[in-house]
Amino acid sequence: MEFLNNVLVKPFADMAAAPDFLIQVLWEGLVGGVLYALIALGFVLIYKSSRIFNFAQGIMVVFAALTLVGLHERGIPAYLALPLTLAVMFVLAVSIERVVLRPLVNQPDIILFMATIGITMFLIGFGELIFGGENKVMITEQLMIPTGSFEFEPFGGFVSIEQKDLTAVIGAVILVAALLYFLNKSKIGRAIRALGDDHQAALSVGISLSTIWVIVWFIAGVIALATGIVWGARAGVSFALEVIAFKALPVLMLGGLESVMGAIIGGLAIGILEKVFEIYWGQPLLGGNTEAWFAYMLALLVLLFRPQGLFGEKIIERV
Amino acid sequence: MFYRTAGQFKTTYQADHALFPVRQDAVLLGIVLILAFVVFPLTASEFAFRALLIPVLIYSLAALGLNVLTGYAGQLSLGTGAFMGVGAYACYKLISIFPEMNIVVALALSGFFSATVGVIFGLPSLRIKGFYLAIATLAAQFFLVWLFQKWAWLYNYNASGAIQVPNIDFFGITVAGPRAPAIVQYYFVLCIVCLLTFFIINITRGRIGRMWKAVRDMDIAAELVGINLMKTKLLAFFVSSYVVGIAGALFVFLWRGAAEANLFDIPLSFRVLFIAIIGGLGSVLGNFLGAILIVALPVVISSVPEAFGLPLSSATVEHLNIMIIGALIIAFLIVEPHGLARFWAVIREKLILWPFPH
C-alpha cells in the first residue's frame, strides 16, 4: 500500500504542492528535448535520403563544437571561426561521401551502419589529436548569446529561465522552420525527398546521388554545429558529449526513422517525460540516474504497439 | 597444388556432410590446434598471455555468441556488453553465495542467467525489426548497466562498487584470482572456447541453424514454410546470450580479475560487434580472425612509434590508435564487406586452382 502510494499518489501530490518547481522541471526538460530533437533531425535527414543509419551524428555535434572552440582558442575571432567551422563541416561531408559512402553504395544496411561507427571512432581520435581531449568552455559570449536569466514568481514560487536556453529554443525553432521550408519548397529539397522515396526513379530523372548526399551530410553538419553550440554552452565541450547521441536514438524509435515531424515531437516528448520521471519517480524511488534508460524503455513500450514508431512509414512486407 | 581436392571422393551422404569434406581443412585445423595447445604455451611470455592470447580467445567467444544472433538469425543486437555483464555478475554472485561450487559449474549456470535476460529483451524482436530492434537492444544495454551500478546486492555492497575475483581452485589448481598463473588460465579458457565453438558449429549446421538462416533471409517466407518464428528467434537469443554470458564471466574471472559496471558499457558492445562484422557475419572462423585483428591492432600500433624512436606522448598514441582503428574498419568494409572469413574463402578457392587458374 505504502509502495502504491509512493508510485501513484505522492509524485502528483508533490507536483501540485510546488507548481513553480514543476514549471522549472518542465522547462529544463523542454530545453533538453529541443536538443534531442535537433540531433534526431540530423539522423532522419540522412536516413531519409540514403537509408544510412548515421551513428556518427552525435560525434559530428561534438566535432563541430570542438572545431569552433579550438579555432577560437588559436586566436581566430568568433565571426571568422564560425564560417571556418562551417567550411570544415562541408569538407567533412565531401570526404565522407567520397571516401566512405561511394565505395559502399548498395551494401547491406548493417555494413553502412558499421562504416558510420568507423567514422565515429576516426572523428573522436582526430578531434582529440588536434584540439586535445580536455573539457573546453563554449565561446558563448563571443557568439553574442546572452547569458543572464529571467526570473518569474508564479504562484508565489520562483522560476528561473536562462537566456541562453531561451536563445537555444528560439534558434532551434528558426532552424527547423528554415529546414522544413528548404525541404518542401526548394528544388534541392524536392530532390532530397525524391531520393528518399525511390533511389532509382530519382536517378532516372537526373538527380545526382553524390551531390545530394554531400548536401544532406552538410546540412546534418550544420545542424550538428547548432546543436553543439547550444549543448556546449550548457555542459562544456568534450567527447563526453557523445552520450547525447545515444539519447537521440530512442527519439528516432519513438518518432519513426523517416519522419521529420516525428523527430521533433519525439524529441520534445522524451526530453520532458524523462526529466519529470527522473525528478518525481527516479530519484525518490529508484536511486536516480534513470535518464540513462528511461527514454529507451518508453520507446520500447511504444514500439510494441506501433513497430514503425509514432510517425514512421507503415512497414509493408511482401514475400 | 597445396590444396588439391581432386581424388577425395565421397561415396556416402555422411561423408558429404562431414565437418571437413576437404582433407586439407582438417589438417589445417590440426596445425592451428597444435599451435594453440602446444606451441604458444611453450613460447609465449606472461605479457603475451595477458595482452594477446587470453583476450583473443574471450573476445572470439563473445563475438561467436553475437554472431549466432546477428549473423545466423539476422537479429541485430547492440547490447552484447550488457549480456556479458549479466554473465559476469551472475558468476560472481554464484561464487560468493556458494564458495564450494566448481568454477566450471558456476560458469555454465551463469550462462543460463544471461540467456534468460537475453530472452526477455529478445521478446520485442517478435514485433520490431531491423534498426528499430537494434535500438531496442540498446535499452537492455543502458538499463542493465544502470542496474549493475545501483543494485548493491550484485557486488556484495562493496564500497568501491566493483567486483573482485577471489582465488578459485579447480581440482587443486588455482585458475582464477590474483594467484593464478597465466598459462593455467590460458589453458582453461582455451578448453572452454573449444568446447563451445564445437557446440556452436554443430548447432548452426543442423536443423536449428537452418531455421535461423531462413528467418534471417526472410522471416515472413520462413513463417510461411512452417517455421515457428517466436521459438526460432527466442532460441537464437537464448543460445547467443548463453555463449555471450559465459564469455562475460570468463572476461572478468580469467582475464580482468576485477570489474566495474561501466566496463560493460557500450564500447564493449561495439568492440564485439566490430569483431563479428570484420570477421564476417554468419561464419564461425571469422570471429577468431576478427578478434585477432581487433586485439592485436592496438598492441601493434602502440609499439610502432617506440620501435622507430618517435617521441610521442601516450595520450597522442591513444588518439592515433582510435583514429587508425576507425579508418581501418572503414577500409576493411570497403575492401571486403563480408569480412575476413570471406577473404579466407577466396584465398582457399585460389589455392585449390593454383597454379592453373583456368
* CATH, residue A289: 1.10.3470
Average pLDDT, chain B: 87
User: What's the rounded Cα separation, in Å, for the pair A252 and A259?
Assistant: 9
A-chain residues near B70 (CB < 8 A) = 110
**C-beta atoms of A303 and B138 within 8 A:** no
- Residue A151: what are its φ and ψ, rounded to 5°? -125, 130
Does some domain include residue A256? yes
Q: Determine the residue among A39, A51, A121 to mutate to test chain B binding: the one whose Cβ has the most chain B Cβ atoms within 10 Å.
A: A121
Q: Which residue has the higher pLDDT, A305 or B63?
A: B63
> Is B312 part of a structural domain of the chain?
no
CB-neighbour burial class of residue A116 (10 A; exposed 0-12, middle 13-18, buried 19+) = buried
pLDDT in tens, B218-277: 888 998 999 999 999 999 999 999 999 999 999 998 888 888 888 898 889 988 998 898
Q: Which residue of B has its CA nearest to A246?
A: B138
* C-alpha distances in Å from residue B57, one per residue of B62, B189, B288: 9, 7, 7
Q: Work out the pLDDT band at A315, boundaries 50, 70, 90.
A: low
Radius of gyration of chain A (CA): 21
Cα–Cα distance measured from residue A246 to residue B144, given in angstroms and rounded to the nearest whole number: 15
- What is the identity of the amino acid at B67? N
Cα(A249)–Cα(B263) distance, integer angstroms: 22
The minimum CA-CA distance between B286 and chain A, rounded to whole Å, is 15
The answer to whether residue A4 sits within a structural domain is: no
Asked whether residue A160 is domain-assigned, the answer is yes
Domain containing B63: what range? Answer: 34-264
Q: How many domains does chain A have?
A: 1
Task: Please tell me the total count of domains within chain B.
Answer: 1
Q: Where are the alpha helices (DSSP H) in A137-242?
A: 163-185, 187-197, 199-204, 209-235
Per-residue pLDDT band at A291 (split at 50, 70, 90): confident
Which residues in A lie closer than 8 A to residue B297 (C-beta atoms)? none
Q: What is the pLDDT of residue A156?
A: 65
Q: Is residue A27 part of a domain?
A: yes
Total-model pTM = 0.87
* Average pLDDT estimate for B326-334: 86
Domain-embedded: residue A318 = no
Nearest to A129 among B221, B323, B330 (CB): B323
B157 is a domain residue: yes
Q: Which residue of A has its CA nearest to B337?
A: A111
Residue A60, domain extent? 16-305
Tens-place pLDDT, residues A2-49: 777 777 777 777 777 777 777 888 888 888 888 888 888 888 888 888
